[in-house]
Amino acid sequence: MEKALTQLGNLIYDQIENSEFPWIHMQSRSTDNILYDPDLRQYILGPRMIRRHSRNIRHIRPFTQMVWTAWFTKELVSLRKTSTLREVYYSARGQADIEFAGQQESDNIITDLEVALNKPREEFHVFPEERSAIFGDLTIEYTVPGYEGRRMNLTDHPDGVMIGPALTSSEFVETSADKVLVVEKGAMFTRLVEERAHDKFNAILVHTAGQSPRATRGIIHRLNKDHKLPVYIFTDGDPWGVHIAMVIISGSANAAHLRGLATPDAKWIGVWGTDIIDYKLPTEPLTAFDHKRLHELKADPRYKGDLWQHELDIFLKIERKAELEAFSQYGLTYIVDEYLPAKLES
Amino acid sequence: MEKALTQLGNLIYDQIENSEFPWIHMQSRSTDNILYDPDLRQYILGPRMIRRHSRNIRHIRPFTQMVWTAWFTKELVSLRKTSTLREVYYSARGQADIEFAGQQESDNIITDLEVALNKPREEFHVFPEERSAIFGDLTIEYTVPGYEGRRMNLTDHPDGVMIGPALTSSEFVETSADKVLVVEKGAMFTRLVEERAHDKFNAILVHTAGQSPRATRGIIHRLNKDHKLPVYIFTDGDPWGVHIAMVIISGSANAAHLRGLATPDAKWIGVWGTDIIDYKLPTEPLTAFDHKRLHELKADPRYKGDLWQHELDIFLKIERKAELEAFSQYGLTYIVDEYLPAKLES
C-alpha cells in the first residue's frame, strides 16, 4: 500500500519537474458512470475517466485536498497507525493550509483517493468504528504492531470477537468450518453462539450490526473466495433486512470502484416473506416508508432475479414484516433446531 | 438468582394454598417515589410500597404477566441460557395465554420483576445487544457453559474484547492496572489501544458505545469497588457526552431500584467547556436541541456540584461544542501524549 501512495507522490513530483501543472487521472464517479455488471454481479464504474488538473481553477481545491489526504494516509501506513474518517477530517482542519467545508467534503476526497489508487480506504488504514463481530473455529495470525505472529482462535471469547483493524489485517490460518452464517443482529448472534450453532452447523458466525461495514464485507468475501466457504445470510424479514443481504452479495453503488467486497455467491436464506406465511410468524404492519423502500428495491437492477422479485412481492401482498426474534415464539432454540436446518437444506 | 425466583414462586403457591388471592409486594416506581439520595449519590426508590393483587381486576393482567415472566427467566437461569428484552416479548406472544400490547409493556414488566427481586435483569439472564468493549491487563475466568474455568487476558485481542453475557458473568481474577479509562466512542477507544494507552497510563480501557449499557456500568462499578481502581470518563464536549458520564457516575432515574451500577467516585475528565477554550479546539455551534438539553441538565439534582454547573454554563456561554476527535487537529497522538496526562494529573 505504501508503494501505491509513493507512486502517486512520485507522479506528481515528475509532473512538476517537467514544468507541468500536476494532475491526477481517475475514473468518474458520477451517477451516469455507475453500471451494474451482470458478469461480476456487482456495481462497477464505467469507462469514463476524468482528469483532476491543478491548472483548472475549479480543481485546485479538491486536487490539493487529495494530495494532502494521500500524504496523511502515507504517514498512517508507514507509522502503522490506523484512523477514522472523522479523525482525518479533524487532522486536516488542524493543518493551517488545508480547508474542508465539512466532514462530507473530506469523506468525498477519501473516496476519490480510493478510486485513484483502486484500493479500499481500509488498506490505507482509514477504518469505521468497529461494531461487528465474528465467532467460530478460525485461527488468525495478527500482523498489527506488538502482536505480529501471535495467533488467536475465534472461539476464544464466547461473546464474539470484535472486527476492527487488527482482525481485518490478520491472516486467516486455518478453519475446520465448512460454511459462514451471517446475521444482522447482535441478539441473534448471541443466541447462535449460546446454542453452539458454530458446532451444530460447522459454521463461522458473523454479526454485521445492521448494514455491514466494509471491513466485515471484506472478511466475508475472503472466507468465501480464499477458503471456499459458502455464505448464508439471515436477516429481518423486511426491506431493510433484505438490503443488508443484497449489499453483502452485490455491493453498493458508492463502492462501485472497489473489488473484493462483494460475495455474489452468498445466499439470502431468510427471513423471507414466504417464511412469515409458512411459519406463521408474529408480524408488524408495513409502514409507508417500508412500502416506498420495497418499490425502490423492485426497480433496482440487483433485484431482477425471480427469488428476489417474488419475495419482495410477498411482503407487499401480505403487508407485513417480521423480525429475526419472531421465531422465539416457538421457543428460544427453535431457530437453531428447526428453522436453520430446514433453510440450509433447501 | 434461581433461589430468588423460586422463593417468589413459593410465596405465590403458599398464598394460594392458604386460600388467598396471590399478591406481590414491591416498591412503587412512580415518579413521585424516585428520589436523589445525596449519601449514596444516586437515584433511589423512596419508601412507598405497592401491592399488586390478583383480587384487583386492574392488577390481574400485570400480575399474570409478571408471574409468567418470572417463570420464563427461571427457565433461562436454570438452563443457563441468556435472552434479550425483545426475545422475552416474542416468547410471551408465543404462549397462547399471555398477552402483551407491545414490547413496551413487556419491558415494563421485566423492570417490575427487577424491583420485586431487587436484582438487575442481567442476573436473570436478560441482556441488551452487546456493543461495548474493554481492553487492558485484566485476567478473567469464564463461568458460562463450555468455558467454565477458562481464563482470558483482556489484552489478547487488540481490537478490544466485546462485553456480552460471558464477560459480564466472568470473575475478575487479577489486574496490574491502577485505573480505568472510559471513553464513549469506538474510534477513540481504537486510538487509545493503538497508542498503547493501557501501558502508558497503566489503565483498563472501556468503550461504552454511546450511553453505557447497564452491563458495562456494572463492570465499571466492580472495577472501582472490588478492585479499588479509580475511574476516569472521557466523552464528547456536549450535553450528551456530559450525560453519558453522569449516568455512569450517578445512575439513571429508571434504574433507581438497582444498586451496583453507579460509580459515584468516577470522575468526568473531559471534554469540558473549559477545554474547548484552553485547547482552542475546532467546534460546532450548539443546536436548539443542545440548548434545551443543557438547561434540563442544569436543573437536574445530579448536576448540582460546582464543577458541573460551571462547565454547563461554559457550553451555554461559548455556544459551542466539540467532539473527542477534535484533538486530532494537533496530531493523532496529541490526546495520549499531552491532553490525557495533563487531565489525569489535575
Max CA-CA distance within chain B? Answer: 74
- Cα A122 to chain centroid, rounded: 11
Q: Which of B90, B163, B187 sits opposite A84 (nearest CB)?
A: B187
Fold of B133-345: Dna Topoisomerase Vi A Subunit; Chain: A, domain 2 (3.40.1360)
Determine, for residues B156 and A159 on separate chains, whether the beta-carbon distance falls below 8 Å.
Answer: no
pLDDT at position A295: 95
Q: Which of B130, B186, B282 sits opposite A90 (nearest CB)?
A: B282
pLDDT at position B96: 56
Number of H helices, E strands in chain A: 14, 17
Specify whether B90 is catalytic.
Answer: yes
* Chain segment B116-155, per-residue pLDDT in tens: 998 889 889 998 766 799 999 999 999 998 999 999 999 9
pLDDT at position B298: 95
Q: What is the CA radius of gyration of chain A?
A: 22
Confidence band of B332 (pLDDT split at 50, 70, 90):
confident
Confidence band of B103 (pLDDT split at 50, 70, 90):
confident
CA gap A112, A53 in Å, rounded: 14
Q: Which of A131, A152, A159 sits opposite B165 (nearest CB)?
A: A159
pLDDT at position B130: 66
Q: Record the pTM.
A: 0.87
- All three cell numbers of B112, joined, read 417490575
Chain B contact set for A83 (CB, 8 A): 328, 332
pLDDT at position A62: 94
Average pLDDT score over residue span B172-184: 97
Q: Which of A87, A282, A330 sits opposite B332 (nearest CB)?
A: A87
Evaluate whether B72 touches B79 at the Cβ level (below 8 Å).
no
pLDDT at position A269: 94
Exposed e or buried b for every residue in A101-134, given b needs 16+ CB within 10 A?
eebeebbbbbbbbbbbbebbbbbbbbbbbbbbbb
Beta strand spans in A185-343 (E): 203-207, 231-234, 267-270, 284-285, 320-321
Active-site residue, from B36, B43, B90, B330:
B90
Would you say the C-alpha torsion B17, B18, B19, B22 has a positive or negative sign?
negative
Q: Which residue shows C-alpha cell 479509562? A: B181
pLDDT at position A94: 74
Active-site residue, from A90, A279, A303, A334:
A90
Q: Residue B304 corresponds to which amino acid?
A: K
Q: Look at residue A140 and tell me whether its pLDDT is greater than 90.
A: yes
Stretch 8-67 of chain B: residues touching chain A, C-beta under 8 Å: none
Half-sphere exposure (CA, 13 Å, Cβ side) for B262? 25
Q: Look at residue B313 and tell me whether its pLDDT is greater than 70.
A: yes
Q: Which long-range contacts (CB under 8 A, 24 or more apart) does A330-336 make?
A: A330/A279, A330/B94, A331/B91, A331/B94, A332/A191, A332/A195, A332/B81, A332/B83, A332/B87, A332/B91, A333/A195, A335/A188, A335/A191, A336/A191, A336/A192, A336/A195, A336/A197, A336/A200
For residue A235, give the nearest of A269, A190, A193, A203 by alpha carbon: A269
Half-sphere exposure (CA, 13 Å, Cβ side) for B327? 23
Chain A contact set for B332 (CB, 8 A): 81, 83, 87, 91
Q: B133 touching A, CB under 8 A?
A: yes
Alpha-carbon separation of residue A269 from A142, A207, A242, A273, A344 (angstroms): 32, 15, 10, 11, 8
Average pLDDT score over residue span A102-117: 92
* Chain segment A303-312, per-residue pLDDT in tens: 988 999 999 9
Confidence band of B86 (pLDDT split at 50, 70, 90):
confident
CA gap A38, A72 in Å, rounded: 37
Size of interface A-B (CB pairs under 8 A): 155
Neighbours of B48 (CB within 10 A): 11
**A165: closest chain B residue by CA:** B159
- All three cell numbers of B275, joined, read 477545554
Strands B179-183 and B203-207, sheet pairing: parallel
pLDDT at position B340: 93
- ∠ CA B152-B155-B160, nearest 5°, is 100
Confidence band of A253 (pLDDT split at 50, 70, 90):
confident
Average pLDDT score over residue span A81-100: 82
Evaluate whether A112 touches A66 at the Cβ level (below 8 Å).
yes
Evaluate whether B269 touches B344 at the Cβ level (below 8 Å).
yes
The mean predicted confidence, pLDDT, of chain A is: 92
pLDDT at position A130: 66
Neighbours of B219 (CB within 10 A): 24
**Domain ranges in chain B?**
2-127, 133-345
Q: Look at residue A96 and tell me whether its pLDDT is greater than 60.
A: no
Q: Which of A146, A152, A159 sits opposite B162 (nearest CB)?
A: A159
Q: Which long-range contacts (CB under 8 A, 24 or more apart) does B296-301 make?
A: B297/B239, B297/B242, B297/B243, B297/B246, B301/B36
Determine, for residues B82 and A194 on separate chains, whether the beta-carbon distance falls below 8 Å.
Answer: yes
Nearest chain B Cα distance for residue A79, angstroms: 11
Best mutation site among B80, B130, B188 for testing chain A: the one with the most A CBs within 10 Å? Answer: B130
CA gap A209, A222 in Å, rounded: 19
Number of H helices, E strands in chain B: 14, 17
Strands B161-162 and B133-135, sheet pairing: antiparallel
The mean predicted confidence, pLDDT, of chain B is: 92
Q: Look at residue B95 and tell me whether its pLDDT is greater than 80.
A: no
Evaluate whether B281 touches B327 at the Cβ level (below 8 Å).
yes
Strands ordered across the beta sheet of B171-175:
B151-153, B138-141, B171-175
pLDDT at position A67: 95
* Chain segment B31-82, per-residue pLDDT in tens: 889 888 888 888 889 999 999 999 999 999 999 999 999 999 999 999 888 8
Phi, psi of A27 (to 5 degrees): -70, 145
Of the candidate ranges A226-230, B93-97, B297-301, the one whose mean pLDDT is the lowest: B93-97
Determine, for residues B129 and A93 on separate chains, whether the beta-carbon distance falls below 8 Å.
Answer: no
Phi, psi of A215 (to 5 degrees): -60, -40
Evaluate whether A106 touches A126 at the Cβ level (below 8 Å).
no
| A282 Cβ contact partners less than 8 Å away, ≥ 6 residues apart | A322, A326, A329, B90, B93, B94
Nearest chain B Cα distance for residue A219, angstroms: 15
The fraction of chain B above a pLDDT of 90, given in percent, is 67
CATH hierarchy code of domain A2-127: 1.10.10.10
* Chain segment B4-17, per-residue pLDDT in tens: 999 999 999 999 99
Burial of residue B19 (number of CB atoms within 10 Å: 0-12, 13-18, 19+)? exposed
CA gap A205, A220 in Å, rounded: 10
CA gap B297, B243 in Å, rounded: 8
Determine, for residues A86 and B332 on separate chains, whether the beta-carbon distance falls below 8 Å.
Answer: no
Chain A contact set for B94 (CB, 8 A): 282, 328-331
* ipTM for the whole complex: 0.83
